[in-house]
Structure 1
Amino acid sequence: MSDDQTLTKVAECLYRNKHGTYFALLKVRGKQIRRSLKTDDSALARRRLAEFRTKAHGLTGDARTMTFNQLAKRWLAFIKPDLRPSSHRRLSGIVETVKPFFAGLPVRSIGQPQIEKWKIKRGGAVSARSFNYEREVLRRLFEYARGNLRIILDNPALDIKKRKVGKAELVIPTKEQFRKLVETLRAEPRVKIAADFVEFLGYSGLRLTEATQVRWRDVNFDSELLLVTGGEQGTKNHEVRTIPLFPPLRRLLERLAESQPKRTDSHRLFPLDSAKTAIGTACKKVGLPHFGHHAMRHFFCSNAIEAGCDFKVIAGWLGHKDGGVLVAQTYGHLRNEHSTAMAKRMTFDVLSLA
């Protein structure tokens, strides 16, 4: 032990180095644990020692044997009932990505050196968005180990900083591009249903997984409402909502109803799970940007903003729970552009009124 590490005992389990910094040194289940109390104040050191002892003696016996892989498996099982299958699959995939950095290691032995190794390696190899996803999973994993299982004293991933993510440029179809896409899809008999589906996405603002699960029993022409449930998987925030049958949406649904005389309430409006290939082929064929399903949700929002709809109202239609904050952050520039365009129409003055 170096001079800086030499400790002098000042009380039971309480030590001090030559610089006056206090340390806790105690044994829990046969394992000696040393921890800096990060103070040179005697009274504060004693309070922190008491807190540390409570935490240390609260550790469970699993701390000796549980490996990172075992922790990851247990955590994924723990969170599964609270997540949509797609969300659970995404988190499972992220866990598989970070496993090689910690595989086989006892959870209790994972500290800053191992976290630093992951951070350095992944920080230079993946995008900021991917890095932040992995960061969040590690933080949640170790917090589960600390708070729920009580097999570690501290979360070693707690201090990892987020990387700044550049703002992605929105790709929003213009009205003309939307019309051209729909017409191109409708001209091909094999993907005609994709044309109706693209219209449905653009007129409703629904997410892909919500739109594919809409059934005829969810459509109420009398009340002019569409019920959005997300089917068995539920919506993104696990809450059911309704949206109005906006005029173009109602016209589309009435046309679909007429074309499906044998439909029942339990039938889905669209017996498909994706129109990605059809949309991609159509875009390429007529020279449109590469639009995806989510671009139609952007199209819906841009039209709602042009129509003067309030951000909070739009957020409710989209299923956001933030009162319009995300809509404002994402689409606020569209309102400014629309306002500028409308302002140019204000051309009257004293001379023009004469």
Structure 2
Amino acid sequence: MEIARVRFAEHRSRIERTRKAARAAGQGVGRMRDLLTLYRQRVEERADIADNTRDAYREHIAYIEKTWPGFGDLRPDEITRTAVEKWRDRALKEGTGNRPPGSKAETNAVSGKSPGRFNKAVDALRKMLDIAIETGALHANPLKVRGIKAKDAPRKPKLPETDKLREVFEAMERPGGRSIEAALLCRFLAFTGCRLKEAAGVRWQDMDFERGIIHVNGTKTDAARREVPMIPAARTLLEVIRKRREKAATVVTDGKPHIDPASPVLAVREAQKSLTRACAAVGVDRLTHHDLRDAFATTCIEAGVDIPTVAAWLGHADGGALLMRIYAHHRRAHSVEQAAKVKFWK
């Protein structure tokens, strides 16, 4: 009962803060703390985003608070291009000061010095100023211009050769038991390009072996809901998994082992520890679940699949813009090969 009272009091307090912020912003006397409160409330109330997206938006808010001292006291009209550029230079140099427990050195991604993290925070700040326009505190958004964000070169995946990747998967399978299921998950990520959360949600009813299609019910964007073709390696893998599930089945229908169509294809939801151990055993740099998704993209592009198609298979919403930047060298090589086919005269 006491917990319920505390939560109710916190809820009332949030509502009151939001009302005060809206009133101040509407009267033209609001500060950035008021716009931040209104933006935070909108993030919490959105029903069209996944929980991990909401968490990311919260992190963008926290980043601004940690890297811009006195931000809440500023008036909306004090958020100028010059002010944001000074914030950018300071944030990329000093970061947030965060360091993971037990780590010997900070990384840009964790410390707040990453251009990518800063740019996401700029997007959040722009939305706050849009609220200022709605309330009449501003008549134009000063951040709707180019050149404010930090230069952010896309991370180029550093992946082992395919033979080494096969050795990693085989090393995961050697101990037996749970490591075999971990290896099946990792192979699935590498052969389908699914995100980790998407892979965990794939069911047998999503498999269309006749058409050679996997229905992926992603939630990150509209493009995340997609059909991914079963490349030969993926089909072989899924057949191996199906036989494994049939062998373990406890229900028999018409004399055959029955697999519940609504049951998950994969038995484990993550495999990072097993993957890390296998990488060390094989002697390659540590790989993550996302690196296996990159391995799928790299293999497809090197096989000659055009980038927009690969982007659709990955569920990218940008039509291939990010992949174009990451794999520009492949695109240039392909362009030269195609140009050689052009004959001016027969």
* Shared fold, TM over 0.5: yes
Q: Specify which of 130, 152, 166 is matched with residue 117 of structure 2.
A: 130
Q: Specify which of 214, 222, 226 is matched with residue 241 of structure 1.
A: 226
Letter in 1 for 2:195: R
Aligned to 2:244: 259
Q: Specify which of 44, 49, 61 is matched with residue 95 of structure 1.
A: 61
Go from structure 1 to structure 2 and tell me whether the alpha carbon gap of 1:69 and 1:245 turns closer, same or farther (over 3 Å shift).
Answer: same
Secondary structure of residue in 2 paired with 1:124: helix
Q: Specify which of 147, 160, 164 is matched with residue 177 of structure 1.
A: 164
Q: Specify which of 38, 48, 51 is matched with residue 74 of structure 1.
A: 38
Aligned: 1:290 with 2:278 = no
Distance (whole Å) between structure 1 residues aligned to residue 132 and residue 47 of structure 2: 18
Go from structure 1 to structure 2 and tell me whether the alpha carbon gap of 1:338 and 1:179 turns closer, same or farther (over 3 Å shift).
Answer: farther
Distance (whole Å) between structure 1 residues aligned to residue 335 and residue 183 of structure 2: 32
Secondary structure of residue in 2 paired with 1:81: coil
Aligned: 1:149 with 2:135 = yes
Aligned: 1:121 with 2:93 = no
Matches for 1:1-354 after TM superposition, within 5 Å: 62-64=26-28, 66-79=30-43, 80-99=46-65, 101-102=69-70, 104-105=72-73, 107-108=75-76, 110-112=78-80, 115=84, 118-125=87-94, 126-146=113-133, 148-158=134-144, 161-189=148-176, 190-230=178-218, 234-237=219-222, 239-261=224-246, 262=249, 263-334=259-330
Shift of 1:210: 1.6
Shift of 1:216: 1.1
Deviations 1:315-338 (A, max 9, x none): 221223444443333224246668
Secondary structure of residue in 1 paired with 2:327: helix
Letter in 2 for 1:195: A
Deviations 1:22-46 (A, max 9, x none): xxxxxxxxxxxxxxxxxxxxxxxxx
Tell me if structure 2 keeps the 8 A contact 1:306–1:335.
no
Go from structure 1 to structure 2 and tell me whether the alpha carbon gap of 1:264 and 1:307 turns closer, same or farther (over 3 Å shift).
Answer: same
Go from structure 1 to structure 2 and tell me whether the alpha carbon gap of 1:152 and 1:213 turns closer, same or farther (over 3 Å shift).
Answer: same
Rg: which structure is higher?
1
**After the TM superposition, which segments of 4 or more aligned residues of structure 1 sit over 6 Å from their partners?**
337-341
Distance (whole Å) between structure 1 residues aligned to residue 228 and residue 269 of structure 2: 21
Distance (whole Å) between structure 2 residues aligned to residue 258 and residue 339 of structure 1: 43
Shift of 1:187: 1.1
Distance (whole Å) between structure 2 residues aligned to residue 183 and residue 338 of structure 1: 33
Letter in 1 for 2:53: S
Shift of 1:203: 0.9
Go from structure 1 to structure 2 and tell me whether the alpha carbon gap of 1:238 and 1:144 turns closer, same or farther (over 3 Å shift).
Answer: farther
Shift of 1:198: 1.0
Q: Report the count of equivalent residues.
A: 279
Distance (whole Å) between structure 2 residues aligned to residue 226 and residue 191 of structure 1: 24
Deviations 1:210-262 (A, max 9, x none): 212111110111222110112xxx14445521122222111111111111133
Secondary structure of residue in 1 paired with 2:215: strand
Go from structure 1 to structure 2 and tell me whether the alpha carbon gap of 1:64 and 1:272 turns closer, same or farther (over 3 Å shift).
Answer: farther
Secondary structure of residue in 1 paired with 2:326: helix
* TM-score, normalised by the number of residues in structure 2: 0.70
Shift of 1:129: 2.4
Which sits farther off after the overlay, 102-111 or 240-249? 102-111
- State the structure with bigger RCO (CA 8 A, min sep 6), 1 or 2: 2
Letter in 1 for 2:237: L
Tell me if structure 2 keeps the 8 A contact 1:198–1:293.
yes
* TM-score, normalised by the number of residues in structure 1: 0.68
Go from structure 1 to structure 2 and tell me whether the alpha carbon gap of 1:155 and 1:258 turns closer, same or farther (over 3 Å shift).
Answer: same
Deviations 1:156-177 (A, max 9, x none): 5456712212343321231111
Aligned to 2:12: none
Q: Percent identity?
A: 25
Q: CA RMSD in A?
A: 3.0
Distance (whole Å) between structure 2 residues aligned to residue 93 and residue 326 of structure 1: 23
Tell me if structure 1 keeps the 8 A contact 2:221–2:317.
no
